[in-house]
Amino acid sequence: MILVTGGTGLVGSHLLYELCKAGENVRVLTRNTSNIQNIKKVFSYYTSDAESLLKNIQWYDADLLDVYSLMDAMEGISEIYHCAAMVSFEPSHEAEMMKINIEGTTNMVNAALEKGIHKFCHVSSIATLGRALNGGITSEETTWKSSPENSNYSISKYGAEREVWRASEEGLNVIIVNPSLIVGPGNWQQSSSNMFTKGYKGIKFYSAGANGFVDVRDVVSLMIRLMNSDITNQRFLINSENATFRHFFDLVHKGFNKSVPAIKAGKFLSSFAWRAEKFRSLLTGSTPLITVETARSAHRISRFSNEKILKTFPDHKFISLEKSISDTCKLFLKDKMN
């Protein structure tokens, strides 16, 4: 049996769909706050028989911060996909995020070692990779360096990775995947799917930054292939293509038949925006829409390699960014009409 954490998230829900479609028996960690309807919604995007596939899932109440509940959840499990993580760029969430992402992963790998799990896939992020110099391309070999520009999120995910590598040295067979910015349908108010909500409402400004992008279907497909292979104790950067944020949001707006952003937001305007948002959030008690970390990343030009994964699976054809955005926009509009 396969255990999945973070099943209600963008990657986790799509992973569950592919595993269930393949007839795998899956156990999913849940908590009182888990929204299982997110999984059902994602299944419904790809099949008219979501209820039937959901029968392959066994729901198990456990907490990443309770190692004993995790060991109980791993009874009879042979493989684990650890997709759960907290993603936030709000400074007030730092302590909670560090605890969930680092301590939670520590508990997962320790329990997996104790239970003799055959193979463990950890979903990490490009945020844990170093930054290539002079406009170069970041790869799996680019060295992480401590820097004031590292976000709290990247620090938490880097700490989580260190625990996974430590477990691999203690005998756990691991695979780490580092996806770039993931595109796909899910909870339209969370994660990268929220970018489509913002695009639908209309964005007037664009930034000068660039990043790597990848379809969630590619991420999941390659995770499963890596887990079904004999490859262990390696990391793989998963990136379809590199593009500017302006190009990304142009495609999103075109997918919604809306005018593309036309005003360039320079660093001064971005600096003013995150400070204004911080002031607004203090007055209202709400979470700021823009933080100093997100404003900084919007102007950073980053490019990522996919050479290693394509050498490993040369037959894999990445979904283009244009098709990925087009498909996601169509599903968003379908949800809006229902």
Q: What is the pLDDT of residue 265?
A: 62
Within 10 angstroms of residue 262's Cβ, the number of other Cβ atoms is 9
Check: CB of residue 207 under 8 Å from CB of residue 270: yes
Give the domain ranges of the chain.
2-184+213-242+303-319
Q: What is the pLDDT of residue 190?
A: 78
Closest listed residue to residue 112, CA positions, set 71, 83, 59: 71
Q: Compute the distance between CA of residue 325 and CA of residue 316 in angstroms, rounded to an integer.
A: 19
Q: Compute the distance between CA of residue 287 and CA of residue 279 in angstroms, rounded to an integer.
A: 11
Q: Compute the distance between CA of residue 36 and CA of residue 13 in angstroms, rounded to an integer.
A: 9
Q: What is the pLDDT of residue 172?
A: 98
Q: What is the pLDDT of residue 279?
A: 44
What is the CATH topology of the domain spanning 2-184+213-242+303-319?
Rossmann fold (3.40.50)
Q: What is the pLDDT of residue 270?
A: 47
User: What does pTM read for this prediction?
Assistant: 0.90
H/E run at residue 47: none
Per-residue pLDDT of the chain (338 residues; tens, 9 = 90+): 999 999 999 999 999 999 999 999 999 998 765 678 889 999 999 998 888 899 889 999 999 999 999 999 999 999 999 999 988 877 888 999 999 999 999 999 999 999 999 999 999 999 899 888 777 999 999 988 887 778 888 999 999 999 999 999 999 999 999 999 999 998 877 777 888 888 888 877 777 788 999 999 999 999 999 999 999 999 999 999 999 988 998 999 999 998 888 766 655 444 534 344 444 454 555 554 454 455 456 667 789 999 999 999 999 999 999 999 999 999 999 887 76
Alpha-carbon distances, residue 124 vs 14, 22, 37 (angstroms)? 16, 24, 24
Q: What is the pLDDT of residue 298?
A: 61
- Tokens 């203090």 correspond to 282
State phi, psi for 268 to the nearest 5 degrees: -65, -45
Closest listed residue to residue 88, CA positions, set 7, 190, 181: 190
Strand partners, 304: 138
284-309 burial, b for 16+ CB within 10 Å, e for fewer? eeeebebbbbbbbbbeeebbbbbeeb
The first and second tokens of residue 183, run together, are: 């595109």
Q: Give the start-end residues of each E strand in 6-53.
A: 26-30
Q: Three-class SS of residue 298?
A: helix
How remote is the C-alpha of 188 from its chain's centroid? Answer: 14
Q: Compute the distance between CA of residue 9 and CA of residue 15 in angstroms, rounded to an integer.
A: 10
